[in-house]
Copies of this chain bind each other. A is one copy, B any other.
Amino acid sequence: MNRHTGRVTPAADRSRADRLHEVIAGELDRRRADVLSIDGRLAGSLDLLVDFVSDGGKRIRPEFLWCGWRAGGGPEAGHRADAALRVGAALEFLQACALLHDDVIDRSERRRGRPATHRAVAGQHAGAGLAGDPDHYGVSVAILLGDLALAWADDLFLDGAERLGALSAAAPVWRAMRTEVLAGQLLDLAVTASVVDDPAAQERDALLVNRYKTAAYTVERPLHLGAALAGAGAATIAALRGYGADIGVAFQLRDDLLGVFGDPAVTGKPAGDDLAEGKRTMLLARARAGLAADPDGAAALAALDDGVGRSDADAPRLAAVIAGTGAVEAVEDRIATLVESALAALDAAPDLPDPVHERLTELADKATARSR
């Protein structure tokens, strides 16, 4: 950081990303050694988790945590900053649990352009000629690897927060975040299984799931957690949470659009995967509402309702039906409105350092951009 302007330089950003990576890699090394000291045969499956966390995704949650930390006055470097990075790393372990278990639940074949972990384990099983059903073995191992990631996330959180003497401020946020994301996933299952036909009710449900499964977990709570670790005041926390809730919802709405119209080379998932999975989104609810209100929409609505949720769904055709309803524009409008209100919340934050304000403005764009 430049002491005079308080600006975070690109070099400081890079160095922080490296430090986060070091924290994650160091923790994975130690936990891997713990497990392999029990039995070396566990290396094959364990290393799938190690690689998954190590190669990571975009590290978006630690990034928001860091913004909260800096917004609350936490230092850029030194041992306190390192402790905050440990909690940032905890978010990546938690996310590994969420994704491994989610892929089992969604029966996803691929993740980040590779076989999903349960599929990779099934492949190891079949390749080694082991006894039993490879698919069920893959699911079983992925459940346990996800549990390990969740347990290790807690270990990292506890360690980082304790080093900062911030357990009493941060533990309630950590607790709320984990409960929210898991309850959001449970709600997603309940909503997807429900036989509600009303598009308005479907839209409400989609936004409720979005709020807890994604928005709180991806943006709002990481910001809140970072701010709590730094000892931020109530007004700063309220502004960050306001921004985070809006950007988090907008992030998921963008993800919903990419899940139907995105380039598999960029998303790492097959085109139209969300349609095959039957994912309930605002996009789908709006498309259904448009067709239901259209006197000539009955056939298209029937085709949509028949195709969504089928593994053999004709994704390009369904995408074209959705695109013809105006639902894409409605979702784009909502994203724009949310970004606007998020930035307004940011402006209301007292004493937000300029570089943090700048970074959160950039992130609002990055998290919701069409090319993500």
Contacts and interface: CB of A to CB of B under 8 A. Distances in A.
A101 B45 CA distance: 18
Contact of A179 (B35, B105, B159, B168): B35
A11 interface: no
A16 interface: no
Interface residues on A, range: 35 or more
Interface string A122-165: 00010001111000110011011111101110110011001000
A193 B132 contact: yes
A260 to B, nearest CB: 20
Given A101-B143, A155-B175, A162-B167, A184 B38 contact: yes
Interface in A186-215: 186-187, 189-190, 192-195, 208, 212
Nearest to A136: B107
Contacts of A42: 183, 186-187, 190
A278 to B, nearest CB: 8
A281 to B, nearest CB: 16
Contact of A182 (B107, B144, B162): B144
Nearest to A177: B151
B129 A151 contact: no
A4 interface: no
Nearest to A174: B155
Given A151-B178, A159-B171, A194-B131, A141 B38 contact: no
Residue of A39, A101, A151, A168 most packed against chain B (CB within 10 A): A151
Contacts of A296: none
A176 interface: yes
A369 to B, nearest CB: 29
Given A179-B35, A179-B151, A131 B193 contact: yes
A277 to B, nearest CB: 11
B105 A143 contact: yes
A212 B38 contact: yes
A186 B105 contact: no
A131 B186 contact: no
A111 interface: no
A189 B137 contact: yes
Contacts of A117: none
Contacts of A39: 183, 187, 190, 208
A170 to B, nearest CB: 10
Interface of A: 31, 34-35, 38-39, 41-42, 45-46, 97, 101, 104-105, 107, 125, 129-132, 136-137, 140-141, 143-148, 150-152, 154-155, 158-159, 162, 167-168, 171, 175-176, 178-180, 182-187, 189-190, 192-195, 208, 212, 278, 309
Given A38-B208, A42-B187, A130-B195, 11 more contacts: A38-B187, A42-B183, A97-B147, A101-B144, A104-B140, A132-B193, A144-B185, A150-B150, A150-B151, A151-B175, A151-B178
